[in-house]
Amino acid sequence: MLFLLTLRALRSFGLIAFAAALAGAAPSTERMEALFRPFLAERITLSPDGRYVAYTQQTGSDLAVVIMDVDRPTSKTTLIVDEDRVIEHSKERQRAALRFLRWATPTRLVFAPTVYVIPPAVKTVAPGFTPPAPVVIAPIMAVDADGGNPRTLVDATTFQEIVGAGGGATPVARMRAATILGFLPGNRERLLVQVPGVGGREATPAKVFQLDVHNGKLAEMSSEVTPRGQIYDLQGRARLLREGGYARRPQQTFLYRTVYSGRWRKLHEVTSSSEAARFTVSPETYFGERAMPLGFDFDPNVLIYASNVGRDTFGVYGLNLATMQRTDLAIEHSSRDLSSLAPDIPAASLVFDEKRQKLAGVRAEGAPLLTVWVDSKIAEVQRSLEVKFPRRSVEILEWDDARARFLVRVTGGTDPGRIYVWQKDEGLLLEIFRRAPWLPNAALHDSRLVEFAGPDGAQLSGYLTLPRAPRLKPPPLVIVFASGLPATPHAEFDREAQVLADLGLAVLRLNQRGVLGRGARQREALREGIDRAAAQDARAAIAWVASQHPIDRKRVVAMGEGFGGYLAVRATQLEPELFRCAVATEPLLEPARWVQPRPDFTAGPPSFQQEVNRIYLERTAPRLHEIGVTSHADALSHPVFVVYRSHRADTIAEGVAQLRSQLKRRDIEHQMLAVGDDYFHGLPGARAKAYRALEEFLNLNLYNYNVKIGPTRVVR
């Protein structure tokens, strides 16, 4: 007994002394808050004549739009367009943002803040009464380049409808936010907006308007009662419709109609080409060969779609809906999917040259950023700019009509991003601003894309961040698993990695096997179980990093969020000799429970996405319950730090509670940090607080390795 006490005392003393020694090197809360501050210029646009740049900027709690003359940068016009918004149950505020910012003409700018829905104060009403409607704030505004003629063109009140007036119910005014479809081809002074219909027995039809950007006058183009989820062509006509894709009818198909017809027809039934025939998806075929509509070309007969039929990666092609034949359009990449996977319509990835009315390129999903240009001139500019910024991602955002000036965002590596105007004729890159001017390059840790061989010949990649001033030499290593199912590749710049590097840790954000966006072969590379494959990838990653940089292989942390968090904790079970501790945020500790929620009287059948996930998981682990973390309590041996939402009673919270009790029972060091939604909204204060707790956890459980426990002796 005496012996035990002595050991513990010695250990505690060592820990305290060690932690105290490290305290001086800890990053300040201000530094952490700086890393988690939202970046500037989430939206930016170049005028058609290349003279003006307009971008968003936070000014205190306000959102401003700044208009700058590129030739005379001192000349700026600043307009306050919105303010930070209240978040329910939070002391912090959500930053305001724009959903649209584009130049209509060389001197007229159109912009729209994101839709703000204020829920009604009274949420339940007596039976027979129409529930009160939320207040919707969704203005579309315009201003001249010199700040003149500022105007709210339309707002949600413009499209307000009175509903519930029949049947004795109290009528309620329901505001509707207009969705911006884009400028009318050939006439940028007209903005196409779509207003959704209002459901119910007396359905209000959905409408499409042309909006005059100078005076806000509306001209109705169409009005029809149709389900949501339509795809409009560039001229503002509803042309494509999704059908199915919900729990009771999981098979999803698309309906289309020609330019001059009102009749909807099933796309997969009338297409003759083999790829087009795959315009249908079910949970079983989600990861197989199929085709997904992306949008329409300037020629309204041409549907642009993504397909991986007969290929490893998704390419982008054209289908003429009048002839049902493939067009010449074929944009492909050997190792990257040019479209994200989606049950219905993937996020827009097409880049058009509006002046020339042509498709210019396609942006691939995920990181590193990639745009495949079909326009050879733009491709040439891309190549020349990439030479100027090695190891960065260069993204051509827009260009002027003369193609003399290009708006470029350069990001990745160590830098959170900078915006440039490439003045081609002068050969000058004008740096307009930094997205995070409070984070100078020299204050950030070197971060770079790395690629290396993984198990079974798989090609693995990730982003390696090395600390500028490690606390220990060699520094410990954190392996961060990519999150999602299938996992989404890590972003190029990561604030979290910078915080960890501040703490003296090297960080490898690992894109383990099966990440999205790299084609079917990479996605299907998991054969021996998703958990074991990730652990093996981590082993290969640690070995590779150690071969390139000095790291302390006895101090390796497994880390991840969501499904990545599960992989992190599971990896410490499967490869206990590799890791010293695990850090997991909202970990899905029991995948079986996650994809198959326990049936109760409120739950319906599994959703489309749940079915997709289940099928995906079961392909690599037929007995899902065997891969759960809490199913292997005996295998837990390392300290665990978990961040989770305490106020939710969901699968995650249940798993965390079970893990806690298992760890407690086995006397394993652990900390379950309950956080609010602020943390998940990325609000700086909440993040800083959580990382402070993580730092303490790491001080005690990672950096204490060198505390020597001497030979056994009896103390009298």
Give the residue from 627, 621, 629, 561 showing the smallest Cα distance to 589.
629
Q: Please, which residue, 85 or 391, has the CB nearer to another protein?
A: 391
Q: What count of other Cβ atoms lies within 10 Å of the Cβ of residue 306?
A: 26
Under 8 Å between Cβ of 510 and 588:
no
According to the binding rule CB under 8 A, does residue 429 interact with another protein? yes
Binding residue for another protein (CB under 8 A) from 1, 4, 387, 714? 387
Q: Which helix (H) or strand (E) holds 567?
A: helix 563-574
Determine if 104 is a binding residue for another protein (CB under 8 A): no
x/- binding map, residues 25-44, to another protein, per CB under 8 A?
Answer: --------------------
Q: 102: part of which helix (H) or strand (E)? A: strand 98-105
Q: Under the criterion CB under 8 A, does residue 68 sit at the interface with another protein?
A: yes
The least CB distance from residue 579 to another protein, in Å, is: 29
Q: Is 432 in the site for another protein (CB under 8 A)?
A: yes
463 binds another protein (CB under 8 A): no
- Give the whole-angstrom CA distance, residue 539 versus residue 481: 12
**Which residue from 146, 202, 220, 431 is in contact with another protein, where contact means CB under 8 A?**
431
Tell me how far, at minimum, the Cβ of 263 lies from another protein, in Å: 54
Alpha carbons 629 and 636: distance in angstroms, whole number? 8
Q: Are 586 and 562 in contact (CB under 8 A)?
A: yes
For another protein, which residue of 349, 414, 488, 699 counts as binding (CB under 8 A)? 414
Q: Is 121 in the site for another protein (CB under 8 A)?
A: no
Strand partners, 109: 103, 143
Give the Cα separation of 216 and 103 in Å (integer). 15
Identify which of residues 410 and 663 has a Cβ nearer to another protein in the complex: 410
C-beta of 507: minimal distance to another protein in Å?
17
Is 418 among the residues that bind another protein (CB under 8 A)? yes
Nearest to 702 by CA among 463, 470, 495: 470
Give me the least distance between CB of 540 and another protein, in Å please.
25
- Tell me the window of 124-132, 271-279, 441-449, 666-674 that interacts with another protein (CB under 8 A): 441-449
Answer yes or no whether residue 148 interacts with another protein by CB under 8 A. no
User: According to CB under 8 A, which residues from 314 to 353 bind another protein?
Assistant: none
Exactly one of 55, 317, 433, 544 binds another protein (CB under 8 A); which one? 433
Q: Which of 126, 442, 709, 715: binder of another protein (CB under 8 A)?
A: 442
- Neighbouring CB atoms inside 10 A of 11's CB total 14
Stretch that binds another protein, among 25-33, 271-279, 422-430, 534-542 (CB under 8 A): 422-430
Is residue 186 part of the contact set for another protein (CB under 8 A)? Answer: no
Min dist CB 68 to another protein, Å, is: 7
Taking the complex as a whole, the smallest distance from the CB of residue 72 to another protein amounts, in Å, to 10
Taking the complex as a whole, the smallest distance from the CB of residue 446 to another protein amounts, in Å, to: 6
Residue 581: phi and psi, rounded to 5, are: -160, 170
Q: Which stretch binds another protein (CB under 8 A): 173-181, 302-310, 388-396, 603-611?
A: 388-396
423 or 658, CB closer to another protein? Answer: 423
Choose, by CB under 8 A, the member of 356, 388, 554, 648 that binds another protein. 388
205 binds another protein, rule: CB under 8 A = no
- For residue 587, give the nearest of 645, 538, 537, 529 by alpha carbon: 645
CB of 529 to another protein, least distance (A): 38
**What pairs with residue 174 in β-bridges?**
161
Q: Give the list of residues 6+ apart from residue 78 with CB closer than 8 angstroms, or none.
A: 57, 59, 64, 65, 66, 67
**518 touching another protein, by CB under 8 A:** no
For residues 681 and 684, give the distance between their C-alpha atoms in angstroms, rounded to a whole number: 9
Question: Distance (Å, rounded) from C-alpha 696 to C-alpha 277?
Answer: 57
Q: Closest separation between CB of residue 483 and another protein, Å?
A: 27
Q: Of the listed pieces 287-295, 412-420, 604-612, 691-699, which binds another protein according to CB under 8 A?
A: 412-420
DSSP secondary structure of 258-305: -TT----EEHHHH--STTGGG-EE-TTTTTSS-EEEEEE-SSTTEEEE
- Write down the least CB distance from residue 118 to another protein, Å: 34
The residue with tokens 């590097």 is: 501
Nearest to 612 by CA among 328, 250, 190, 316: 250
Q: In the complex, what is the shortest distance from the CB of residue 420 to another protein, in angstroms, rounded to a whole number?
A: 9
Tell me if 60 contacts another protein by CB under 8 A.
no
Least spacing, CB of residue 34 vs another protein, in Å: 14
Return the range that interacts with another protein (CB under 8 A); candidates 97-105, 233-241, 418-426, 599-607: 418-426
557 close to 582: Cβ distance less than 8 angstroms: yes
Cβ-contact 92, 685 below 8 angstroms? yes
What are the tokens at 273?
């080409």
> Is position 200 an interface residue for another protein (rule: CB under 8 A)?
no
Q: Which region among 68-76, 101-109, 180-188, 320-328 touches another protein (by CB under 8 A)?
A: 68-76
- For another protein, the closer CB: 162 or 428: 428
CB nearer to another protein: give 350 or 408. 408
CA distance 655 to 634: 16
Nearest residue to 460 via CA among 390, 535, 394, 410: 535
Q: What DSSP line would sit under 392-440, residue for residue? A: SEEEEEEE-TTSSEEEEEEEETTEEEEEEEEETTTTEEEEEEES-TTS-
Q: Is 77 in the site for another protein (CB under 8 A)?
A: no
Closest to another protein by CB, 51 or 392: 392
> Beta strands 640-645 and 581-585: pairing type?
parallel
Sole window of 293-301, 396-404, 426-434, 602-610 interacting with another protein (rule: CB under 8 A): 426-434
Q: Does 176 bind another protein (CB under 8 A)?
A: no
Question: Residue 585, interface with another protein (CB under 8 A)?
Answer: no
Q: Please report how close the Cβ of residue 52 comes to another protein at its closest, in angstroms.
A: 13
Q: Which is nearer to another protein, 82 or 415 (CB)?
A: 415
CB of residue 383 vs another protein: minimum separation in angstroms? 12
Q: How far is the CB of 434 from another protein (least distance, A)?
A: 8
Q: Which stretch binds another protein (CB under 8 A): 265-273, 313-321, 411-419, 535-543?
A: 411-419
Q: Does 550 bind another protein (CB under 8 A)?
A: no
Could you tell me which residues are beta bridge partners of residue 111? Answer: 101, 141
Q: How far is residue 146's CA from residue 67's CA, in Å, rounded to a whole number?
A: 8
**Beta strand ranges found along 550-604 (DSSP E):** 556-561, 581-585
Q: Say how many C-beta atoms besides its own lie within 10 A of residue 352's C-beta.
A: 18
73 scored as a contact of another protein (CB under 8 A)? yes
Single out the residue of 555, 505, 514, 556 nearest to residue 533, CA to CA: 514
Per rule CB under 8 A, count of chain residues that contact another protein: 31
Using CB under 8 A, which of 197, 346, 413, 639 touches another protein?
A: 413
Q: 108, 148 in Cβ contact below 8 A?
A: no
Cα 58 from Cα 37, distance rounded (Å): 11
Among 51, 108, 188, 392, binds another protein (CB under 8 A): 392
Check binding of 430 to another protein (CB under 8 A): yes
Q: Which 3 state secondary structure label does DSSP give 543?
A: helix
Contact with another protein (CB under 8 A): which of 31, 391, 403, 424?
A: 391
Are 677 and 83 contacting, i.e. CB atoms less than 8 angstroms apart? Answer: no
> Which residues are near another protein by CB under 8 A?
68, 70, 73-74, 387-392, 410, 413-415, 418, 421, 423, 426-434, 437, 440-442, 446
